[in-house]
A = this chain, B = another copy of it.
Amino acid sequence: MRKVAVIGVGCAKYGARNDVTVSEIAFEAFKPAVEDAGISPKDIEFVAVGSAGAGAWYEENLPAVVIAEYCGLTGAGLARCEAACATGSAAFAMAYWAVASGQVDVAVALGVEKMRQVDTPTMVEFIGRSGYYLWEFHNFGLTFPGYYAIHATAHMAKYGTTEEDLALVAVKNHKYASMNPVAHLRSRITVEEALRSPVIAWPLKLYDCCPISDGAAAAILASEEKVKELKIETPVWVAGLGYSSGTANLSKRKDYVGLESTVRAAQQAYKMAGVTPNQIELALVHDCFTIAEIMAYEDLGFCQKGEGAKLVREGQTEIGGKIPVNIDGGLKAKGHPIGATGVGMIYELVKQLRGEAKEPSRQVPFKNYIALAHNVGGTGHYCYVTILRR
């Protein structure tokens, strides 16, 4: 397998971005990425666009071609990838394999989503359909806060996780988002504010839920040969990639205290990278709801099953703790523009591994320079885990 590095990254400001079209927000991520890599758009041979809501959430049915043209990429190969909320990671995987296979030397994963052009109830329905439509949504009316509330109540019942523990995740992630210029929700909150916020689907309250965000992120990948040719100073290598899927029919799940697809994807990624969970020095995990972050600690092997809440109580997932998690604000507060999210994680990992998360400082200290991104689609319907190494 050819070695592949991320050589350039960019991230648009996440948030309510009614000021830009989908092409414009994509360009906000793409332009700094090509500048970062020191290349021109013409050097890019394949473009994998990650976007889930094309033609439904925003007007362009075929965002790949329209965005590519806006970014000066016409002529390159194009595809759009979708894997529910792991859409950005699916695009990253396609771009990675295009380079790793030897087909191309330079590819870009360009994740983008415009989610705020439709009204909120419509968006909640759209996302709610992102399970097994004919069963969960159509017959039972479940939407995503409800799905994750099932996980939260199961975890609370089995392991004694509390509403306060969930609130602690939100407080941590809001704190780091307040220090991240591209984050959507930049206000700090307290445990009391989180607990007092309106109930959405008990035990999940408003502050347990990620916002609906517009956003875009770009990651440029290159072969080892190209890294040398371009004299890239700090390439960040793709060390491991794992992926898996779970049943779309929630009634078939063995339990609701974790996600099997995360466990399998993580094992695959660790094996490929030749590392163990305790070697990971930074993780960005899929915290669409606070309970999802606690389950991810456990499913990714950062602690034993059932001990996730303890990690956050002890502050072990803060910078300086055993394993800093979501120190960019996470989906919870940086935001979750679906197609962008997975690529936005790569953006943050690359910046961190290069030591560039400095203004204001959210820089994680590294010894081995190994970091992980974890991106889930649905409630474990899809999962991608990517390990990067400087």
Query: Which residues of chain A have a CB within 8 Å of any CB of chain B?
Result: 1-2, 21, 46-47, 54-56, 59-62, 64-66, 68-69, 73-84, 90, 93-94, 96-98, 100-103, 126, 129-134, 138, 241, 243-249, 261, 264-265, 377-378, 381-382, 384
Are A83 and B80 interface neighbours, CB within 8 A?
Answer: yes
Chain B residues near A265 (CB, 8 Å)? 77
Least distance between A82 CB and chain B CB atoms (Å): 4
Chain B residues near A96 (CB, 8 Å)? 101
Are A130 and B62 interface neighbours, CB within 8 A?
Answer: yes
Chain B residues near A377 (CB, 8 Å)? 62, 65
Picked from B81, B130, B132, the residue with its CB within 8 Å of the CB of A79 is B81
Are B69 and A78 interface neighbours, CB within 8 A?
Answer: no
Q: How many copies does the complex hold?
A: 2
- Which secondary structure dominates chain A's binding surface? mixed
How far is A283 from B46 in the complex, measured between Cα atoms in Å?
25
A47: nearest chain-B partner, CB-CB = B245
How far is A56 from B132 in the complex, measured between Cα atoms in Å?
15
Are B82 and A243 interface neighbours, CB within 8 A?
Answer: no
Picked from B81, B82, B97, the residue with its CB within 8 Å of the CB of A54 is B82
Least distance between A221 CB and chain B CB atoms (Å): 12
User: Could you list some 30 contacts between A and B, CB below 8 A?
Assistant: A1-B101, A1-B102, A2-B101, A55-B56, A60-B132, A61-B84, A61-B126, A62-B82, A62-B84, A62-B131, A62-B381, A65-B84, A65-B381, A66-B132, A66-B133, A73-B245, A74-B245, A74-B246, A75-B244, A77-B245, A79-B81, A79-B83, A80-B82, A81-B81, A81-B82, A93-B98, A94-B97, A97-B97, A97-B98, A100-B102
Given A79-B81, A97-B94; A69-B248 close (CB under 8 Å):
yes
